[in-house]
Amino acid sequence: IVAWPDMREYTHTYPTAYANLNNGQPATLFSSYDQQTVDTHFRWMRENNIDTAALQRFNPMGGEGPTRDAMATKVRTAAEANGRKFYIMYDVTDWTTMQSEIKTDWTTKMKALTASPAYALQNGKPVVGIWGFGFNDPKRPWAPAPCLEVVNWFKAQGCYVMGGVPTHWRSGNEDSRPGFLDVYHAFNMISPWMVGRIGNIADTDRFFANVNTADQADCAAHGIDYQPCVLPGDVTGNQRAHGDFMWRQFYNMVRVGAAGIYISMFDEFNEGNQIAKTAETLAGVPANSGMRALDADGTACSSDYYLRLTGDGGRMLKGQIPLTATRPTPPMITSGDRQAPSVPGNLTVTAKTATSVTLSWTASTDNVGVTGYQVLRNGTAVATAPNTPYTVTGLTPATAYTFTVTARDAAGNTSAASNAVSVTTATAPASSVIALRSRANSRYVSAANGSALIANGTSVGAAQQFERVDLGNGNVALRAKVNNMYVCAEGAGAQPLIANRATAGAWETFQVITNPNGSVSLRAQVNSQYVCADGGGAQPLIANRTAIGPWEQFDLVAG
């Protein structure tokens, strides 16, 4: 990375090989894979009135596929919890078999996300982004025809298709391949790339006069929505001018008549163009790293400054504040709300299991508004809760913990801690070894040879034995005895079940439903679908049924 994040709001952090920060604290980083990280980023969007996130999806057919599938589920969860929108944006870089695989990925996996109330719609249609068609480089080598076919295919599926296109898409030169104009004109929305094209206010004004104005006119003539990029500036190149560079772009793009604005980027700490909270001063940067902080040009900026600036740019785009070339956002909030929320009251434990504790408290009040709560375990922040109650998970059985809660408002004011409550988690129930016999064909479910689970066993052996692990709250995980791996609803439930995970997460969690006839059904937590012995047991098990029938019923047999 080339810029250091402000780590104060991340509860899950990881050590690095960097030297300590200049303030002496350890140089830890977040993982974007953690749900708490995703929740934090979407909370920042909510607090700063940033509407929508485009989830970049690189080639999902390779080794990163399961990770990218999981991220889509995490983003959906965070967007729904924070009242934000999201959509899938395919990045076709280095995806040589894109033409067929992008369709398969959409129909078998990503399309299911459009059922979420948080999935972005435009003109009543689900939004899909495709970034990379027409770029004149070896990483995106396609001719126009396959690209046009893909765009039209998505439109035929009822999607509103946004294209991330080269800067010089209209003229078909420099960063654009020639002959792609029909592809570009097939998009419902065009968003030309700008990172690396401008670096100061003079560049911004030159592009406005020579490129953006003509881009907008061409889009209007072809019934296409224009969504130009706005970037905060590369912090390593000292481009930001404490927000003046970014605000000039907002001003130019609003006065050109843009339908929307694409921020490049939210959390791109590896390229220095992030708006996410960043180290304010060198005190928050690893010693001898050469990284710059937000005050590199001599003006102090709060870590959330570019989030606030983005929120104000959005308000100007929507006409909520007048068009102005003068940046309205102060780099530091030196006045205004300094009142902390009231202390959360009557913190109590309302439920506990071997691995979780549910906390409830009386909601805080604030002169402006409470934005969330921080849950502290033994004095260390472990979670951010949008409201009360909240369940803390991942605890150790038969272990004593002490919890407190603080409240936070949009200005960053934090209340004093609530009363402390102490609790000891329940003793873990003894795990049991079971076998699953399908009611569809009276065969036992097998996890043999590292293959997908299938009901084909005529007797119970190692391949048919599973350790039933109680996760609390009625949830279980199944660990195959044959390889000691947890059963996973692969692809967020879109692919067959397989025992291939070393730990149990959302994809490996199932709820056991007891049916009136004495059988049980398994409902996958990741998609709330029932596990089915597909094809009457002739096909692998998959969590894709909304109701329980004979194929979704199993007998629990002592293993």
Q: For 413-424, what is the mean pLDDT? A: 89
Residue given tokens 């983005």 in the structure block: 310
221 residue type, one letter: A
* pLDDT digits 0-9 by tens, 176-208: 999 999 999 999 999 999 999 999 999 999 999
Average pLDDT over residues 443-460: 90
Q: Tell me the pLDDT band of 111, cut-offs 50, 70 and 90.
A: very high
- pLDDT at res. 318: 92
More confident residue, 353 or 540: 540
Mean pLDDT, the chain, as a whole number? 92
Residue 55, strand partner residues = 88
Per-residue pLDDT tens over the stretch 203-232: 999 999 999 999 999 999 999 999 999 999
Under the banding of pLDDT at 50, 70 and 90, the label for residue 123 is very high
Angstrom distances, CA of residue 407 to CA of 78, 356, 364: 19, 22, 7
More confident residue, 12 or 30: 30
User: How many CA atoms within 13 Å lie on the side-chain side of 179?
Assistant: 7
10 Å CB burial of residue 50 (0-12, 13-18, 19+) is buried
Q: How far apart are CA 417 and CA 407, in angstroms?
A: 8
Q: For residue 153, what pLDDT band results from cuts at 50, 70 and 90?
A: very high
pLDDT tens track for 333-382: 765 677 789 999 999 999 888 778 999 999 999 888 888 888 888 877 77
The reported pLDDT for the residue numbered 425 is 87
* 559: confidence class by pLDDT, cuts 50, 70, 90: low
The whole-number pLDDT of residue 193 equals 95
pLDDT over 90 for what percent of the chain?
73
Least confident stretch, 37-51, 247-261, 330-344, 519-533: 330-344
* Contacts of the segment 268-273: beta carbons below 8 A, 24+ positions apart: 269/1, 269/2, 269/3, 269/4, 269/5, 270/1, 270/2, 271/2, 271/195, 271/234, 272/2, 272/3, 272/234, 272/235, 272/236, 272/237, 273/195, 273/231, 273/232, 273/233, 273/234, 273/235
3-state secondary structure 70-129: HHHHHHHHHHHHHCCEEEEEEECCCCCCHHHHHHHHHHHCHHHHHHCCCECEECCEEEEE
Binned at pLDDT 50, 70 and 90, residue 275 comes out as very high
How far is it, in rounded angstroms, from Cα 466 to Cα 447?
9
> Residue 471: its pLDDT value, please?
81
**Percentage of residues of the chain with pLDDT beyond 70:** 98
Helix/strand/coil for 40: helix
pLDDT (mean) for 478-488: 92
Is the bond preceding residue 389 a cis peptide, omega within 30 degrees?
Answer: yes
pLDDT at 62: 83
Task: Kindly state the helix (H) or strand (E) to which residue 202 belongs, with its residue range.
Answer: helix 201-207
Q: Are 399 and 333 in contact (CB under 8 A)?
A: no
Q: Domains in the chain, please, with CATH?
A: 43-269+302-317 (3.20.20.80), 345-424 (2.60.40.10), 432-558 (2.80.10.50)
